[in-house]
Amino acid sequence: MPCWCGSGKKYKQCHEDFDKKIRHYEIMGHPVPTHDMLKNREQVELIKKSAVINRACLDAVSEAIRPGMNTQEIDDIVYQTTTSMGGIPAPLNYENFPKSVCTSVNSQVCHGIPSKKVILKEGDIINVDCSTILDGYFSDSSRMFMIGEVSEEKQRLVRVTKECVQKGLEATRPWGFLGDMAEAVHKHAEANGYSVVREIGGHGVGLEFHEEPWVSYVSNAGEDMLIVPGMMFTIEPMVNMGRPGIYTDKKNNWEVYTKDGKPSAQWEIQLYVTEDGPEVICW
């Protein structure tokens, strides 16, 4: 019997022991990944090509972003960069999302819609969340940008949120659990007086924009899905300066805001899990 992974090797000599190990965790009651969530090296190489474009977009935004700029101009940069490199912006027309990138300013938590009417001003913080399709392979990452002089307290939110992602990455290991990563993320946020959004999380990614598993950043060590080599997912916590509560703008069903009106920050990386640990594919 040939292995399901497509290696051409016999199952016995390929993933049989691997599957037995997963089965062991499943019997103990843990959610475990299915084979269709796992990527092989060839797929990862193609996903990395998509990620080159995604990173180029965020690098280009980083060069251009300044006070007085409107967020439609950010959308233009992302659309131009992506298409000139042969890619497709994944957000465009995704479930009726009207633009090529998400731009979320201050108390916007995520999914902000670029607009000529949203003009960046000194002191703003903004998340630019970029996702690319290249030859059917998906990449996804986001960064925060600070516009001109930003208050100490907003600078700290942006820095701590980035540290949360770093801590989550350090807690990610094969044959650990997504909850190990989540705990590292939210403990750092909470130790700094912040809260982590509960309702919106990360996701598997690579062959689709959003794949299983759904990824929480508020669960605890030992909880949620077993992490196995071959998995690819995002670490993208939304960290609120105040309370965790959020709401979605009913006018467009996309834009998400903090209920208390306080700022929120997010950084997103895409990673691939190998036997040796996580490899960051996109940032």
Q: Which residues bind ligand MF3 (CB under 6 A)?
A: 91, 94, 97, 102, 111, 129, 131, 140, 203, 236, 268
Instruction: Return the sign of the alpha-carbon dihedral for residues 105, 187, 153, 61.
Output: negative
Work out the number of other CB atoms within 10 angstroms of the CB of residue 280: 14
Q: How far is the CB of 82 from Co ion (least distance, A)?
A: 16
Kindly report whether the peptide bond that precedes residue 98 is cis, defined as omega within 30 degrees of 0.
no
| Cβ distance to Co ion smaller for residue 140 or 183 | 140
**What is the separation, in whole angstroms, between the first and last Cα of the chain?**
39
Nearer to Co ion, 69 or 189 (CB): 189
Query: Of Co ion, ligand MF3, none, which one sits near residue 97, judging by CB under 5 to 8 A according to partner kind?
Result: ligand MF3
To the nearest whole angstrom, how small is the minimum distance from the Cβ of residue 236 to Co ion? 5
User: Whole-angstrom Cα distance, residue 277 to residue 272?
Assistant: 8
* Helix, strand, or coil (residue 257): strand
| Cis bond before residue 174 (omega within 30° of 0) | no
**Nearest approach, Cβ of 20 to ligand MF3 (angstroms)?**
33
In a 13 Å sphere around the CA of 106, the CA atoms on its Cβ side amount to 14
Question: What does 102 interact with, of ligand MF3, Co ion, none (CB < 5 to 8 A by kind)?
Answer: ligand MF3
Q: How far is the CB of 113 from ligand MF3 (least distance, A)?
A: 8
Q: Where are the beta strands (DSSP E) in 111-180?
A: 125-134, 137-146
By CB under 5 A, residue 140 contacts Co ion: yes
The residues pairing with 103 across neighbouring beta strands, listed in sequence order, are: 128
Q: Which residue is nearest to ligand MF3 (CB)?
A: 91
Q: Is 234 in the site for Co ion (CB under 5 A)?
A: yes
- Residue 89 binds which entry of Co ion, ligand MF3, none, with Cβ cut-offs from 5 to 8 Å by kind? none
Q: Which is nearer to ligand MF3, 18 or 94 (CB)?
A: 94
Contact residues for Co ion (CB under 5 A)? 140, 234
